[in-house]
Amino acid sequence: MRTPGCSFVVRILVVLAVSASAARANVQETMTPLLLDMQDAPVPFKGSDGRVHLVYELWVTNFSSGDVVVEKVEVLGDGDVVQTLDSAAVAGRLQPAGQRESAGTLARSVQALLFIHVTLEPGAAIPRNLSHRITMHVNAAPPGQQEMTESGGSVTVDRKPVVSIGPPLRGVGYVSADSCCDASRHTRAAMPINGHVWLAQRFAVDWEQLDAQGRIYAGDREKLESYTIFGKPVLAVAEATVASVTDGLPEQTPGKYPGNISLDQADGNSVILDLGEQHYALYAHMQPGTIQVRVGQRVAAGQLLGLVGNSGNSVAPHLHFQVADKPSSLASNGLPYEIKEFQIAGRSPGTKAFDEAEEKGTPLVITPLSAVQQTKGALPLDQLIISFPGR
Ligand SMILES: [Zn+2]
């Protein structure tokens, strides 16, 4: 039986169908086998190379029934290409969820993170918006139509102020290990916690220190006192309020990967400072019993917090330092920061050589800069030899 209501529904559907075909006439509909998404908008900052950097992750899901080979990714800043990743670069930066290995081919139904690092040309304006154009080979598409290009993953650049801080240590011969912005173990430390993927360590540094002979340790590898950095004072980077303190966890034996470390003990003896404006500084792996501050206390820039140790998830004494948007070392969004003043004396050959020097106690063969580079207001990039004011 027909009712007025039914014919009304029919009329609505007709109107919808008409408006849909009108829309089709204006907007071309194309298949986008890769779904592109962004979780954390990049915050531009100045690196120790004097350039502006944007570091973020593009989420890529292969919504097709076959492999997709990602051949090229162009990053567009306000519509202009600011970075091009060729197939080799993509293959080094595209990591399926939960994996450490990267690959340029995404199997069907797989979600991956593409770790992007844009370095702007000197003097270039910081783009307001970023988007992406991807060229790919889609195995599931009909023959002759498998080469495809799609665009997406648009995001507004986050222009929140970058926090300016003092040094977390003082003295010479420090190495900025696993610092920003490429294959660093911190930059890619995406962790699923409480149902969300966090990159708290995106801009973290594992500070190590070399002795006058360029060694991370001298003598017995398993003795804490063998390490150049062991026992060095850890300093408040700004006037701040102490947000969190963990103390009383034992030192680990250097050279051995600690077993049975729970998530809440991974930082070892640690302090989180509330720097204000949703910026929190984390210091991890300090010596037990050396932490000088308590929760709620106000501290001054340069104030002693504790001593460098090897507690928690640590294989050699070092200071893990990071800034994030919450007073949590893992369930927070890592933010860039700029250290007010430091000197760059040279470069390490890279992470592989650094790991070897840390394992064997052999000198790290550094490449000195022709002149010590005085650096103001910048984030120390990866594997540099750095001096902080004071001794
Ligand atoms: Zn670390």
Q: What is the whole-number distance in angstroms between the Cα of residue 283 and the centre of ligand 1?
A: 10
| 335 against 8, higher pLDDT | 335
pLDDT of residue 259: 85
Nearest-angstrom CA–CA distance, 244 and 31: 49
Q: What is the whole-number distance in angstroms between the Cα of residue 204 and the centre of ligand 1?
A: 6
Nearest-angstrom CA–CA distance, 255 and 251: 12
pLDDT of residue 130: 98
Confidence of residue 12 (pLDDT cuts 50, 70, 90): very low
Q: Is the pLDDT of residue 226 over 50?
A: yes
Q: Tens of pLDDT along 264-278?
A: 999 999 999 999 999
Q: What is the whole-number distance in angstroms between the Cα of residue 270 and the centre of ligand 1?
A: 12
Q: What's the token pair of residue 69? A: 């080979």
Q: What is the whole-number distance in angstroms between the Cα of residue 145 and the centre of ligand 1?
A: 46
Tell me, which fold does domain 34-156 have in CATH? Immunoglobulin-like (2.60.40)
Q: Is the pLDDT of residue 23 over 80?
A: no
Q: Is the pLDDT of residue 304 over 60?
A: yes
Q: What is the whole-number distance in angstroms between the Cα of residue 27 and the centre of ligand 1?
A: 48
Q: What is the whole-number distance in angstroms between the Cα of residue 353 and the centre of ligand 1?
A: 17
List for the chain the helix, strand, coil content (%; round to 5).
10, 40, 45
pLDDT of residue 8: 39
Q: What is the whole-number distance in angstroms between the Cα of residue 185 and the centre of ligand 1?
A: 8
Q: What is the whole-number distance in angstroms between the Cα of residue 205 and the centre of ligand 1?
A: 6
Q: Tens of pLDDT along 307-339?
A: 999 999 999 999 999 999 999 999 999 999 999
Q: Which residue has the tokens 């062991």?
A: 230
Q: Tens of pLDDT along 79-114?
A: 999 999 999 999 999 999 999 999 999 999 999 999
Contact 388, 174 (CB under 8 A): yes
- What does pTM read for this prediction? 0.92
Instruction: List the domain boundaries for the chain.
Output: 34-156, 163-388
Q: What is the whole-number distance in angstroms between the Cα of residue 30 and the centre of ligand 1?
A: 43
Q: What is the whole-number distance in angstroms between the Cα of residue 320 and the centre of ligand 1?
A: 5
Q: What is the whole-number distance in angstroms between the Cα of residue 206 and the centre of ligand 1?
A: 5
Q: Which residues are within 5 Å of ligand 1 (an ion), measured at CB?
A: 206, 320
pLDDT of residue 390: 84
Q: How does DSSP classify residue 217?
A: B
Q: What is the whole-number distance in angstroms between the Cα of residue 290 and the centre of ligand 1?
A: 20
Q: What is the whole-number distance in angstroms between the Cα of residue 314 and the centre of ligand 1?
A: 8
pLDDT of residue 391: 77
Contact 140, 63 (CB under 8 A): no
Q: How does DSSP classify residue 357?
A: H
pLDDT of residue 6: 41
Q: Tens of pLDDT along 163-186?
A: 999 999 999 999 999 999 998 999
Q: What is the whole-number distance in angstroms between the Cα of residue 190 and the centre of ligand 1?
A: 13
Nearest-angstrom CA–CA distance, 282 and 240: 12
Q: Quote the mean pLDDT of the chain.
A: 93
Return the CATH architecture of domain 163-388: Distorted Sandwich (2.70)
Closest CA to 385 of 242, 117, 171: 171
Q: What is the whole-number distance in angstroms between the Cα of residue 113 and the centre of ligand 1?
A: 21
Cα maximum dimension of the chain: 95
Q: What is the whole-number distance in angstroms between the Cα of residue 176 and the centre of ligand 1?
A: 10
Q: What's the token pair of residue 323? A: 């800034």
pLDDT of residue 27: 78
Q: Tens of pLDDT along 355-374?
A: 999 999 999 999 999 889 99
Strands 68-77 and 80-85 come out as antiparallel
Which percentage of the chain shows pLDDT scores above 90? 88
Q: What is the whole-number distance in angstroms between the Cα of residue 179 and the centre of ligand 1?
A: 9
Long-range contacts of 301-304 (CB under 8 A, 24+ apart): 301/166, 301/235, 301/236, 301/237, 301/238, 301/239, 302/166, 302/235, 302/236, 303/235, 303/236, 304/233, 304/234, 304/235, 304/236
